[in-house]
Structure 1
Amino acid sequence: MGYVLIVEDEPDILELVRYNLEKEGFIVRGVSSGEAALNQVRKDPPDLVVLDLMLPGVNGWEVCRELKQDTLYRSIPVVMLTARTEDSDVVAGLEVGADDYVTKPFNPKVLMARLRAALRRTEPPGEHSHKEERILIHGITIDITRHQVTCRPDPDQGEPETIPLSATEFSILEFLSRNPGWVFSRSRIIDAIRGEDYPVTERSVDVQILGLRRKLGICGQLIETVRGVEYRLKGAD
């Protein structure tokens, strides 16, 4: 199934998450501090990180930020698991690159479903997948298999620039790019990339779109806001 690193300083919660993951067939390692988490990732990169926020020493936000800024580890999904439930905390987690945010107390079955979903979003399409391997639109190239985005708004100027995106940013860009010119509400975007009734604040979609525009630079202008409806990727000229 894969290897999951749990970063949690409460032993009871760590063991609860470990038990449910191992029951599903995952290989699990647990650490109790941010420093230990970063060392473990560098020594043996996991397929997914379950990350508490309130940790001794380096906190969860800093751990996530370091991982997402490192080209070697940014593709590893990070699911934050925390007692902090304010919208501002959710937004802060998403802004540093978290792929999901689960609050305590949690239902173990729901947590396992969310972790499996985070892993699926980073899996390359299988041999029988009907997904396109590459999407080309307005100078943006989205390589589905490699989970890579490049941008070159002017084909006559320079080499294309590789754009580092989180798994969620990549999913949103892929969804909008498959439907250029179509306008989608925040809730429709959430349903499309993570399934119906996914408990994420609509504000978090704004944060992801803001991050996408910033990272894409000039190409980010292609993601348009339609007042009263929400977002679209510019259609064909």
Structure 2
Amino acid sequence: MIGLVLAAGAGRRLRPYTDTLPKALVPVGPEGEEDGITVLDLTLGNFAEVGLTEAAIIVGYRKEAVYERKEALEQKYGLKLTLIDNDKAEEWNNAYSLWCGRDALKDGVILANGDTVHPVSVEKTLLAARGDGKKIILALDTVKNLADEEMKVVVDPAKGVQKITKLMEPSEATGEYIGVTLIEGEAAAELADALKTTFERDPQLYYEDGYQELVNRGFKIDVAPIGDVKWVEIDNHDDLAKGREIACQY
């Protein structure tokens, strides 16, 4: 099993940082430390802590910044890194971005969005949930009060995920998908096909829409509740402030 990070996004709401950096390289250390720790650092650190030795990073917008740091990141975290280019990062949404990493999926991956600040307990929870024929396991926050923007999930205890979308009444949801998934290698081909169907239908769809496509085909996707842990998806400057508060606690 390897790590896989989606780090191709532009993150325009985080300008001026993202004028020159992809969102995954926006600093989340103390304010003013512009060369400090990033979301990518935190994620690679988590991968290393749970014993992974390799990771792939899907890059696109301002990818040269990740290429420049590749060797230093490898040395810092003891991971062999492979960078995968997304040629449509500024045109299409992340269903296509994850499809670009379809070959990496064959090894089995822990997938992490490049904008999610979260503790290593999330990866540990996913790894502990493996087995019993589970092929895809989503990290689910069942504690947080949900609003319109969250990626909401409805789960049937026996059948797994039934619905995953932002376009749902928050009161209907079991919880929020936090942007971290364990994907076993045996699910790679079916997931890649579902992602291809999804972005061919609409290039602006999310990879979570690919998960929904799988569910609609009868594929079982499981969840692992992460408990009451602090995490944040960084979309804007308010989120960045929260990310800095959380990151300093790890």
TM-score for both structures, normalised by structure 1: 0.31
TM-score for both structures, normalised by structure 2: 0.30
